Amino acid sequence: SGGPNYDLPLGRRDSKTFATVVNLPSPFSNTTVILNDFREKTFNARETVALSGGHTVGLAHCPAFTNRLYPKQDPTLDKTFANNLKKTCPTSDSNNTTVFDIRSPNVFDNKYYVDLMNRQGLLTSDQDLYTDKRTRSIVTSFAVDQSLFFQEFANSMIKMSQLSVLTGKQGEIRAKCSVKNSNNLASVVEDVIEEAWSGII
């Protein structure tokens, strides 16, 4: 999708459980909540805003943002943008989807930040990054300099990969990344890897 390439350190094993919504900020969170959540994971404001730029691609369901449309429109939302969103989500209980980034929805670039500067951030947690004085200048810096955003995003993703690292006998090495191994498959995978390493050593 055009995003930056970055190298992740090797050796981290897959968790036997998947992340839950409890581990992620809510789409209704304001900047204070987001900064506090990420600070607990050792991320500063710049790194947090860079990670939020992942919303330059992807979709959101109406329930994640209709609170900004009904019963009253969020004043931080551009009126034309809001009217277009109402066509996608004609009622507060609609469940359709729309893109996060209206300028280049299928390209990983810095247009997400341009959206925020134009009051066209989809979620409360997106738009408030520009509304809040603590993070506004960071949003602006990424909006005008895509290379800077790519560099900060890559560094923040690498840092995230170092959280709660599982090694040794912890976790597992999945045969298919999106699916936990069955017990039988897990032992087969481990045997194959041990055999491969013994051949190298």
Q: Is 93 annotated as a binding residue?
A: no
Residue 1 lies in a domain: no
The predicted model scores a pTM of: 0.84
Number of domains the chain is built from? 1
**14: three-class secondary structure by DSSP:** strand
> CA-to-CA distance for 179 and 159, rounded, in angstroms?
24
Residue 4 lies in a domain: no
Q: Is 27 annotated as a binding residue?
A: no
Residue 65 lies in a domain: yes
Residue 184 lies in a domain: no
**What is the domain-level CATH number for residue 158?**
1.10.420.10
Sign of the CA dihedral running 52, 56, 57, 63: positive
Residues 6 or more apart whose Cβ sits within 8 Å of residue 109: 2, 3, 56, 146
Residue 188 lies in a domain: no
> CA-to-CA distance for 53 and 153, rounded, in angstroms?
8
Structure tokens at 63: 């329930």
**195: three-class secondary structure by DSSP:** helix
Mean pLDDT by 10 residues, the chain (201 residues): 89 78 81 95 96 96 97 96 97 95 96 98 98 98 98 95 86 85 63 59 52
Residue 106 lies in a domain: yes
Residue 38 lies in a domain: yes
Host domain of residue 51? 31-165
CB hemisphere CA count around 152 (13 angstroms): 24
Residue 23 lies in a domain: no
Q: What percent of the chain has pLDDT over 90?
A: 69
Q: Is 128 annotated as a binding residue?
A: no
Phi and psi for 128 in degrees, rounded to 5? -65, -20
> CA-to-CA distance for 182 and 195, rounded, in angstroms?
20
